A and B are shown apart, each in its own frame.
Chain A
Amino acid sequence: MKIAVVGTGYVGLVTGSCLSDVGMDVTCVDVDVKKIANLNKGVLPIYEPGLEDIVERNTKAGRLKFTSSLDQAVKGAEAAFIAVGTPPGEDGSADLRYVLAVAKEIGEKMTDYLVVITKSTVPVGTADKVRRELQAALQARGSKLTFDVASNPEFLKEGAAIEDFQKPDRIVCGVESERAQDVLARLYKPFTLNGHPVYFMDVKSAEMTKYAANAMLATKISFMNDIANLCELLGADVNQVRKGIGSDPRIGNRFIYPGIGYGGSCFPKDVKALVRTGHEYGYELRILQSVEAVNESQKHVLFNKVKAHFGDLKGRHFAMWGLSFKPETNDMREAPALVICEQLKAAGATVTAYDPVAMPECKHMIGDQIAYAPDAYAALTGADALLLVTEWREFRVPDWDRIRAALKQPVVFDGRNIYSGPELREMGFTYSGIGVK
């Protein structure tokens, strides 16, 4: 099966390489010429465990190609994925400029019947817009070619993207014709053979599913953060509460960890976009608005604790462990670390940070606003406190003697509740987590 994947970011690259890995003939396209040149040299633009191997293996086998020419990619293809970015516009709605530009270009270049599959996260109704772009482009060149549009939202998580793509909880496909359904069924057959279900549904419901899933996950996080803040005031321990409710199978113990707010390229943007869709239709999505409000204030919680402990922060120096919005990724988009760094700086404090992979990305975004250390312990030297911001595995069981020796004061702010307060206090540290004792 010949497949084109347009947009070679996180989603496009993972989709393209995983499809080639099961034997399909995949061409990935991107307008970013440098990215394509790098990929052709075997240099990946993102950090994603396991991806490099797959790319290398399939490029060598000739099943995976990278190009900046869309012509070449769609020529003879049965399916074309649109996997370009959909950044939030100023009002929070998803910016469809790139998606529609690609649709138009596909219409201009396609050579056979084609299923055009939107993989990017797009608001309900986008498939109709994609269809119109394609029709207009075909008409403009007097072509009688036929096509179908389909919606196939992607649920992969950065940091576990390969695993998520290869062993999905489910695959959601919104289709409008049997022919398109057949193409998608063949495409995903290698992944469904081991029991992972494909749900075929109407296009709008598929588009909606992606937003609803991210919205529910964000809701779980904000719910727990709200409860954690309350636990703190009531003298309860949110870790106990979490175990108490997580053992209820109707709730489950996933995604109910309190912390310093969600970030990344998806939750914040998708929650905003769905709220925006609601507005467009005159419906106020109250829960999601409150989910967002909690998240915004949660990003300030760690700073507030530091401030409450030290009072005036002018001239203070802090060590920060972790920068990326979550472990196993270098993605810094909407990372709580950015807000914390900003606030500390505004209060006159300085920061030395360490992150296993996200430091270049962070430097790229905020430059020398903070200093960077070559390893976790080097970040601690002379700091008034350690702030744990991202729960990378290597931070989980640190050498507390070394930490105490390096810090000016034995104070730890744990934004992810990965340490035990009682244990740390026993060792003479001042500890504060999120809603825990």
Chain B
Amino acid sequence: MKIAILGSGYVGLVVGTCFADTGNRTTCVDVDEAKINRLRRGEVPIYEPGLEELIQRNVAEGRLFFTTDLAATIRGAQVVFIAVGTPGDEDGSADLTHVLSVAETIGANMNDHKVVVLKSTVPVGTNHKVRDRIAAHTKQSFDVVSNPEFLKEGAAIDDFTKPDRVVVGCESAHARKVMEELYAPFLRTGKPLLVMDPASAEMTKYAANAMLATRISFMNEMARICEAVGADVNQVRKGIGTDVRIGFPFLFAGVGYGGSCFPKDVRALVSLAKEHGYTPHIVPAVEKVNEEQKRLLYQKVKQHFGDLAGRHFAVWGLAFKPKTDDMREAPSVALIEALLAAGATVTAFDPEANREAQRLLGDRVRFADNALAACDGADALVLVTEWSAFRHLDLDEIKARLKQRVLFDGRNIWDGERVRSQGFTYYGIGVR
């Protein structure tokens, strides 16, 4: 099939590349010329394991193309994916400017029947809005499908090619058939393609992210209580995770969720509900807990040292989670900003996100070339992102480099007992 992908960010690139890889002629479009030029040179603008090779292969084999020419790409495609950004507005609602703008362009270039697929995360009701925008420009028949994306950054290719399920909100048999054909290569193991009405498909994406965010905030609250009463949240996690009705995933206490999806989608859900006259209870609480949780690590540092003016800290991990360079809404930023505001200095290290962080924080922070170097002369080491390279601590080396033996573990990846026996002061999140 001939596929157009509008928007070549995280989602657009992964989706486009994977569809090319199953034999479709796929063109990825973006308004960002610099991005398209880099892609044409074979440079991938994001860090995503496995993506670069896959792009190179499909470009070389003549199935994957990059362009800034929206109109021509749309005209040449049977299936048009909308994968542009839907950032959070000031009031938390999803900003549909880009989505609706490409819908207009699609309408203006509807030279034959096309299936338009909404991949971006959009509020319930957007499917119909997009349909109206397109229809305003054309008499040609077309379908609009809601097909939310569930990939995770850092495991995006695996997630897309081996999905737990594919959600398809559509109202026409033709569109359904096209979607089934496109996804068939990824559903060979029997995972379902769930066809539903567009509103439910749109809602599914928000509900999924909201539920995952709820699990995180829930555990963070449990960690706070554990700390207060003297229990250990890691034990509690094991105790409840074994309950098959609960399950283990997403029960790790930490420094709060970040990234380009959870915070934005949770807020968008709240704002969507309010627009329709419903006051949700759970999700606003989830968000409030998360906002507080992002400040927790700073509070622990503050509590230990008192005045932070002139103190120096090593920060390990900057990306909002491991295996990505994405810094959007990263808890590390909240921590570093707070430390700097209190008059402290910071040397940070992240295996992938140093550059991205530098763009955000500028030279107010020093960036080290490796994890150990970041520790030199610091009053404490603060772990924010649980990259696997940070899991095994070379305690002797760290002892030699730190000014004081103090560890703040924002992800509970170190064994408190072990590091204490080596003379360190250890703080985790809700653990002893």
Can you list, as one digit per residue, whether each of B132-168 has a CB less than 8 Å from chain A (1) or not (0)? 0000000000000000001000000000000011010
Verify B221–A286 contact, CB threshold 8 A: yes
Check A244–B211 contact: CB distance below 8 A.
no
A169 pairs with B229, CB closer than 8 A: no
Are the C-beta atoms of A222 and B243 separated by less than 8 Å?
A: no
In the complex, the answer to whether A223 meets B211 with C-beta atoms within 8 Å is: yes
Please report the C-alpha to C-alpha distance between residue A403 and residue B283 in the assembled complex, in whole angstroms.
40
Mask, A200-218, CB within 8 Å of B = 1, is 0110111111001101110
For the complex formed, measure the closest distance between the CB of A8 and the CB atoms of chain B, giving whole angstroms.
26
Check if A424 is an interface residue, CB within 8 A of chain B: no
Q: Is the CB of B285 within 8 A of A199?
A: no
A376 vs chain B, min Cβ distance (A): 29
The verdict on B276 contacting chain A, using a C-beta distance below 8 Å, is: yes
Assembly CA distance A215 to B215 (angstroms): 11
How many whole Å from B105's CB to the nearest CB in chain A?
27
B239 on the A face (CB < 8 A): yes
- Interface: A197 (CB within 8 A): yes
Q: Are B214 and A254 closer than 8 Å at their CB atoms?
A: no
Report chain B residues within 8 Å CB of A290: 281-282, 284-285
B207 near A241 with CB under 8 A, answer: yes
The minimal Cβ–Cβ distance linking B426 to chain A, given in whole angstroms, is 17
Q: Is B200 in contact with A241, judged by CB distance below 8 angstroms?
A: yes
| CB contact under 8 A between A209 and B240, given known A204-B230, A291-B282 | yes
CA distance A255 to B192 in the complex (A): 20
Residues of chain A within 8 A of B281, CB atoms compared? 222, 226, 290-291, 293-294
Q: Is the CB of B225 within 8 A of A281?
A: yes
Q: Is the CB of A230 within 8 A of B208?
A: no
- Report B271-307 CB contacts with A as 1/0, cut-off 8 Å: 0110011101111111011000000000000000000
Chain A contact residues, majority secondary structure: helix
Chain B contact residues, majority secondary structure: helix
Known pairs A170-B243, A234-B124, A286-B285; A226 contacts B196 (CB<8 A)? no
A278 close to chain B: CB less than 8 A: yes
Contacts of A437 in B (CB 8 A): 197
Q: Is B334 an interface residue (CB 8 A)?
A: no
A247 and B165: CB pair below 8 A?
Answer: yes
Most buried by A among B196, B210, B272: B196
Is A233 within 8 A of B250, CB to CB? no
Q: CB distance B242 to A170 under 8 Å?
A: yes
Q: Report how far A281 CA is from B243 CA in the complex, Å.
A: 27
List of B residues within 8 angstroms of A371 by Cβ: none
Q: Which residue of A lies closest to B150 (CB)?
A: A248
Using Cβ atoms and an 8 Å threshold, which residues of chain A touch B235?
Answer: 199, 201-202, 205-206, 209
Cβ-closest 8 pairs across A and B: A244-B204, A209-B239, A205-B235, A281-B228, A240-B200, A170-B242, A250-B249, A290-B281
